[in-house]
Amino acid sequence: MIIFGTYLFTAYPTVPPYRDSGDLITSGVTLGIAHPPGYPLYTISGKIFTVIVPFGNFAYRINLLSIFSGAMTCVLVCVFLTGILNSFYPGFIAGLLLAFSPAFWALSHVSEMYTLLSLFGALIFLLLVAGRHPDDARVYPAAFVFGLGLGSHPTLILFLPGILLFLWGRRSRLNPFYVLLFFVLGCTVFAYLPLRASAEPVLNWGDPKTIRNFLRLVTRADYGGLKLHPEQSRFIWSAGSVLAQFKLFGQAMIQQFTLPVAIAGIAGMYYSFRKQYRGLASLLVTCFLVTGILFFLLSNLPPEESTTLPILEPHLVLPNMIFVLFVGMFVTVFLPAKRDNATAGGMAVCRPVLVAAVVVFSALACVFVFFRNFGEHNRREHFFAYDYGKNILKTMPAGSLLYDPDDSPAFIVKYLRMCENKRKDIKPVMYFRTLWGYKHIRKHYPEILPGYEIGSAQELMSVLVDYNLDKRDIYADVITKIPSGYAGFPAGLLYRINAPGDDGVREKFNHSENLYKLYACRGRFDSSLYKDFFTRRIFYYYAASHNNIALEYTRHPSLEGATGGALKKAEGHYYRAVSIDPHLSVGWNNLGALAFRNGEYVKAVGYFGRALAINPKEASVYYNIGLSYKAAGDVSLAEEYFVKSNEVSFYPFSLNELGLIALGRGEISKAIEYFERIIVREPSFSPAYFNLGLACEKGGDFARAVHFYKRYTEQGVSDEERRETEAIIKRLRGRRGMMGSGLDI
């Protein structure tokens, strides 16, 4: 009750921002087919919770499924250890540590299938090892639970090596046919997918009516199979990458439980190999290693990427559940043994002081983990995802298209439309890179496609825009998704796609400003208050929208009629962007660029410094600081930052500035060296050719100067620049010493 009550108190009041929650809620409410691999058991269970829970919105009710599953997993952990160790306290401690570990607490709050998965994992352990004297007959229901549990999440299959090793060590006389039969009976939950698909539900990922579609759905064939990320997850390993994954997993476990608890768990793992637990150790240790470090190795995500741990976080639920069992076994070592029953290896003689120390240490560990994570996981006032979805819908006029949105906005909007019946006129255009996605669009929104069949995803992407551009508004959630050849203008949180040269700029600005006034924004909008990647992602969408409307204002400085009016508005939006997301380095950089534009060079350096603190490997920011110092008259400091820029990475603009500084000091050969380094690495960088011509001219080598000036005119410069440069060439050709040069002039 402690855990269940805490989870209820800190629960999300509505749809969470977490990954696929909106999709899974919708699949439960509508009895649809969720995204691959389908999750039939979670869908059915979610529907049951929407019926039996008599209060709250649909999202809250299905969130309760995860809360119930998480709390029950902790109960089963306690029951399992109590039966094995014949002592309640270690199981109680293990249950609390699991409940309040960051990954498990987070996944117990959101409408995701991972705590239901852990519940089935704990139940399998309990059935296989129920007390000190396991019963072979329990293996048959364990096989059924194993098959059924795969319908919550297929990663439960990772328990199989540990289960087989455990059964092999038992030398039991099980009938393999009956074991397989019970397993297959459990797997019949997957029959839900083709049966429900045949009824044409509103949510029908993969349309698994046929065997081919069914297999593609459950194997995630359209989404990279075992890959957790289509680009970053690569099935290529080296000694260095393996070591990096081991390190990443170790860091993750310490982050989950603290270093002392992690050490206690490792010690408990070692202790589990004592004679009386050797069979149990084969089960637990194998399952821990396969679901933990082996899964990290298989996923092979880049450890340095900010998205890696958020992607892997749900896959810490199973190893966390197993790891706390080892912690409980470690605690038992120090508790007094019962003389009438030599239980889990308690010490024959145990000093009271040592017992008290272990009890206090384990209790304090639970208290520390709870208070360390409570603030982050108290989501009772967390409306950010729900409000974000409603604000998207407020942005879009009737009948408009939402083009290729990210998962979070796509699934949140899906929940609002399909579960709360909001804005059914909106047409989300998604999944069109798959055949079933194309068929879904053709079936549900035939009016947005031409009458002929489209042969490829690439053709479909261009047709969707071309065919609808003059018929209805098209919006993207991220400006980089606007197809090549089209322009986009910020419209509040979204970006309206339009043909280049579309007019009405003032009206667009006014429309966007009015949208901001319409938005509901409950809560404190400051991403630094939250560690959760997906909450921060919601804040990023808001911050990016303010940043991009500010950029448009800087491109139209005379828009307001009064000098500097548009730039003042730009500054206000930039400030709003970085106040929402203080880690938005591009926002700080743009504030610096605006200050530089206004001649406030000291202020500009301060803003650029903030951007640099967030992203110290961004060469362009060092360059911007250098430009600011140069404009302020401090050439030495400017030179220092231009050098740092190129130490980070090759940056031709900085090298060009270093060449100009050297040229200004009369260091002709040094200047030429800088400019030549540029054209060797980046031959299309036109200013280097002009500056090489200038350096050669100052050095008296007029023939080479003419050569580089001529090369400059061949780089696609403007007509005015070409005329000015040709005048220089004409002047130099009249100089003495031009004849006889080996250069082609």
**Nearby residues of 539 by Cβ (< 8 Å), 6 or more positions away:** 384, 525, 526, 527, 530, 580, 581
Alpha-carbon distance of 179 to 169, in angstroms, equals 17
Q: Please report, as a single letter, which amino acid is at residue 725.
A: T
Residues 314 and 410 in one domain: no
Residues 184 and 318 in one domain: yes
Report the 10 Å Cβ neighbour count for 237.
Answer: 12
Domains held by the chain: number: 2
The model carries a pTM of 0.88
Alpha-carbon distance of 543 to 79, in angstroms, equals 47
The values of phi and psi at residue 428, to 5°, are -70, 125
The single residue listed with the structure tokens 């649809």 is 32
The single residue listed with the structure tokens 């060469």 is 619
Tell me, yes or no, whether 243 lies in a domain. yes
Are 221 and 215 in contact, with CB atoms under 8 Å apart? yes
Of 489, 509, 529, the residue that ends a domain is 509
Report the 10 Å Cβ neighbour count for 72.
Answer: 18
Handedness of CA 194, 199, 200, 201 (dihedral sign): negative
Q: Which of 555, 553, 567 is nearest to 510 (CA)?
A: 553
Are 344 and 281 in contact, with CB atoms under 8 Å apart? no
Residues 322 and 440 in one domain: no
Residues 335 and 401 in one domain: no
Range of the domain at 188: 2-198+217-377
CA 446: distance to chain centroid?
A: 33
Tell me, yes or no, whether 39 lies in a domain. yes
Q: Which of 433, 434, 423, 384 is nearest to 401 (CA)?
A: 423
Q: What's the pLDDT at 24?
A: 96
Residues 435 and 292 in one domain: no
User: What parts of the chain have a pLDDT lower than 70?
Assistant: 130-135, 169-172, 223-235, 275-276, 336-351, 499-503, 560-564, 735-745
Residues 67 and 95 in one domain: yes
Query: 378: burial class by Cβ within 10 Å (0-12, 13-18, 19+)?
Result: middle
pLDDT tens column, 501-536: 556 788 889 889 999 999 999 999 999 999 899 999
Q: Which of 340, 470, 324, 726 is nearest to 332 (CA)?
A: 324
Of 480, 509, 538, the residue that ends a domain is 509
Residues 364 and 446 in one domain: no
Residues 61 and 182 in one domain: yes
> Residue 474: which region, alpha, beta or left (left: phi > 0; alpha: psi -120 to 50)?
beta
Tell me, yes or no, whether 266 lies in a domain. yes
Tell me, yes or no, whether 606 lies in a domain. no
- How much of the chain is helix, strand and coil, in % rounded to 5? 65, 5, 30
Tell me, yes or no, whether 211 lies in a domain. no
Residues 74 and 138 in one domain: yes
Peptide bond into 37 cis (omega under 30): yes
Count of H-run helices and E-run strands, the chain? 35, 5
Tell me, yes or no, whether 321 lies in a domain. yes
Residues 67 and 49 in one domain: yes
Tell me, yes or no, whether 553 lies in a domain. no
Of 342, 377, 412, the residue that ends a domain is 377
Q: What's the pLDDT at 135?
A: 62
Q: Kindly calculate the radius of gyration of the chain based on its CA atoms and give it in whole angstroms.
A: 32
Residues 365 and 394 in one domain: no
Residues 302 and 221 in one domain: yes
Tell me, yes or no, whether 700 lies in a domain. no
